[in-house]
């Protein structure tokens, strides 16, 4: 037994380092996004001691050790590692430093060797039938010839676009829809353009150049969501729903009360519809046309592919023109009397202000009081302007003596002041 153990241990080490490159080419590496769950499948059985180890460099770290159903995690894998489905190893969540080689042993016998790639993907979202660009960059040569360029794009770890020796090859479903620019390649841009995306385009994309060197970012997660639209139509109009050249599309309808029903099942240019829609539905140029809309067609139309994925959601509102006009007529009948009353009230307020309030304000602002206003102006004698310093000869006529004007008597103590008749003589006497 000691001899046997001495022989098998060196053999196990030899198999690990010698056959590991061969195994890496035969078995595909496991690629997982950062934070997701990693499953390292191992289709073997072990009724003895099962040991999973991790080899990031030259180290050999214990991941999980199980003896008769009792498992112990190694440092760095506490509460993250467990055995499922026989001898397969599950890690959750996946950490960036989990990338490397993993090996499982049953006692000293090697069961599986798997390489794990942990990616930090860039997320890109798009709607069905829209165009999208997935970014990828690398250090390329500016003067490289077209036939020397090498570009490889993978989706879910399967190649679907490759540029090699000046030719471009496509995977199923991407012909004439996916493209890369050779001119941009010389600038370090290896970005992928996809037109008219579908739900099946969702997935993990990876970009490589030269000898499968990964570009940056290392991975892109594309998420394609259903196309949503809100449409308004009138009674009698047609509704066009794009079935997007899918092999099979199921159209369902939910009315405004939440009641759902099957409208049609479209396959190619033929349709199988519910009796309520049979004579109203036509398939024209990859589009389903529903004619003669009524108010009962207000609701949500949903298109699903043959896998049950939602492709499109269209919310429709059908308006009745006669009903709109009747509502406007009702509003007119109600609003016109109200507007008439408001106009009459405003006119009355303006007249009241002009005829009553304004004269009162003018009377308050008059400078004389009520007693002074009753005096007859004609009873007040008028005086001619005095001619001071002019002799009789200069004036050319006799100066008539003005009658005395009654005035208010003064007190006896106040001496009466008599003005001299000749101002000039008085000055000489002084």
Q: What percentage of the chain has pLDDT greater than the value 70?
A: 75
Q: Please report whether residue 68 resides in a domain.
A: yes
Q: Please report whether residue 183 resides in a domain.
A: yes
Same domain as 253, residue 312 = yes
Same domain as 167, residue 137 = yes
Same domain as 215, residue 126 = yes
Residue 170, pLDDT > 70, answer yes
For residue range 56-94, list pLDDT tens digits in order: 877 789 999 999 889 999 999 999 999 988 899 999 999
How many domains does the chain divide into? 3
Position 363 scores a pLDDT of 64
Position 68 scores a pLDDT of 84
Provide mean pLDDT across the span 361-367.
61
Among candidate residues 279, 305, 321, the one where a domain is terminated: 321
Position 253 scores a pLDDT of 95
Say which range, 13-22, 183-192, 367-376, has the weakest mean pLDDT: 13-22
Position 235 scores a pLDDT of 92
Residue 300 or 368, more confident: 300
Range of the structural domain that residue 162 is part of: 122-224
Same domain as 253, residue 210 = no
Q: What percentage of the chain has pLDDT greater than the value 90?
A: 43
Residue 303, pLDDT > 80, answer yes
Among candidate residues 162, 196, 224, the one where a domain is terminated: 224
Please count the other Cβ atoms lying within 10 Å of the Cβ belonging to residue 41.
16
Provide mean pLDDT across the span 384-402.
49
Q: Please report whether residue 63 resides in a domain.
A: yes
Same domain as 95, residue 156 = no
- Antiparallel, parallel or unpaired: β 310-319 and 227-234: parallel
Q: Please report whether residue 386 resides in a domain.
A: no
CB 190 within 8 A of CB 180: yes
Position 60 scores a pLDDT of 87
Same domain as 134, residue 96 = no
Same domain as 139, residue 110 = no
Please give the radius of gyration of the chain, using alpha carbons only, rounded to the nearest integer: 52
- Dig out the tokens for 253 from the structure: 């309808």
Same domain as 218, residue 152 = yes
Q: Please report whether residue 346 resides in a domain.
A: no
CATH number at residue 303: 2.60.40.10
Position 375 scores a pLDDT of 45
Residue 241 or 409, more confident: 241
CB 46 within 8 A of CB 131: no
Same domain as 11, residue 112 = yes
Position 251 scores a pLDDT of 94
- Dig out the tokens for 151 from the structure: 């570009």
Q: Please report whether residue 332 resides in a domain.
A: no
Same domain as 115, residue 135 = no
Same domain as 210, residue 162 = yes
For residue range 195-250, list pLDDT tens digits in order: 989 888 999 999 999 877 888 998 999 999 998 999 999 999 999 998 877 778 99
Position 305 scores a pLDDT of 86
Position 373 scores a pLDDT of 45
Among candidate residues 261, 287, 321, the one where a domain is terminated: 321
Residue 22, pLDDT > 50, answer no
Q: Please report whether residue 127 resides in a domain.
A: yes
Q: Please report whether residue 279 resides in a domain.
A: yes
Same domain as 104, residue 139 = no
Mean per-residue pLDDT of the chain: 80
């Amino acid at each position: 037994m000691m001899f046997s153990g001495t022989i098998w241990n060196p053999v196990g080490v030899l198999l690990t380092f010698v056959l590991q490159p061969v195994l890496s080419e035969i078995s595909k590496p496991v690629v997982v996004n950062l934070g997701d769950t990693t499953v390292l499948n191992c289709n073997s059985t072990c009724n003895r001691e099962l040991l999973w180890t991790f080899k990031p460099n030259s180290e050999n770290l214990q991941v999980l050790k199980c003896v008769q159903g009792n498992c112990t995690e190694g440092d760095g894998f506490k509460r993250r590692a467990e055995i499922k489905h026989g001898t397969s190893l599950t890690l959750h969540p996946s950490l960036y430093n989990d990338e490397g080689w993993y090996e499982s042993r049953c006692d000293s016998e090697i069961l599986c060797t798997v390489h794990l790639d942990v990616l930090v993907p860039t997320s890109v979202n798009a709607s069905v039938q829209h165009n999208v660009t997935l970014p990828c960059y690398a250090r390329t040569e500016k003067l490289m010839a077209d036939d020397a360029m090498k570009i490889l794009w993978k989706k879910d770890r399967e190649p679907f676009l490759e540029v090699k020796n000046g030719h471009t090859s496509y995977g199923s479903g991407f012909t004439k829809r996916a493209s890369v620019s050779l001119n941009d390649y010389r600038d370090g841009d290896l970005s992928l353009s996809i037109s008219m995306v579908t739900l099946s385009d969702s997935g993990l994309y990876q970009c490589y150049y030269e000898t499968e060197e990964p570009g940056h970012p290392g991975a892109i997660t594309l998420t394609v969501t259903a196309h949503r639209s809100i449409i308004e139509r009138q009674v009698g109009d047609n509704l066009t729903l794009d079935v997007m050249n899918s092999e099979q599309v199921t159209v369902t309808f939910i009315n405004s009360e939440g009641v759902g029903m099957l409208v049609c099942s479209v396959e190619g240019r033929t349709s199988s519809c519910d009796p309520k829609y049979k004579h109203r539905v036509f398939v024209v140029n990859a589009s389903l046309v529903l004619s003669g809309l009524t108010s009962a067609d207000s609701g949500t139309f949903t298109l699903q592919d043959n896998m049950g994925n939602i492709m499109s959601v269209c919310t429709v509102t059908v308006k009745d023109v006669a009903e709109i006009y009747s509502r406007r007529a009702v509003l007119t009948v109600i609003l016109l009397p109200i507007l008439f009353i408001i106009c009459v009230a405003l006119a009355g307020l303006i007249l009241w202000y002009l005829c009553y309030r304004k004269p009162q304000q003018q009377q308050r602002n008059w400078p004389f009081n009520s007693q002074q206003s009753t005096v007859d102006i004609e009873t007040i004698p008028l005086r001619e302007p005095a001619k001071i310093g002019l002799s009789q000869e200069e004036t050319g006529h006799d100066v008539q003596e003005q009658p005395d004007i009654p005035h208010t008597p003064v007190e006896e103590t106040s001496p009466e002041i008599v003005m001299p008749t000749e101002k000039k003589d008085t000055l000489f006497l002084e």
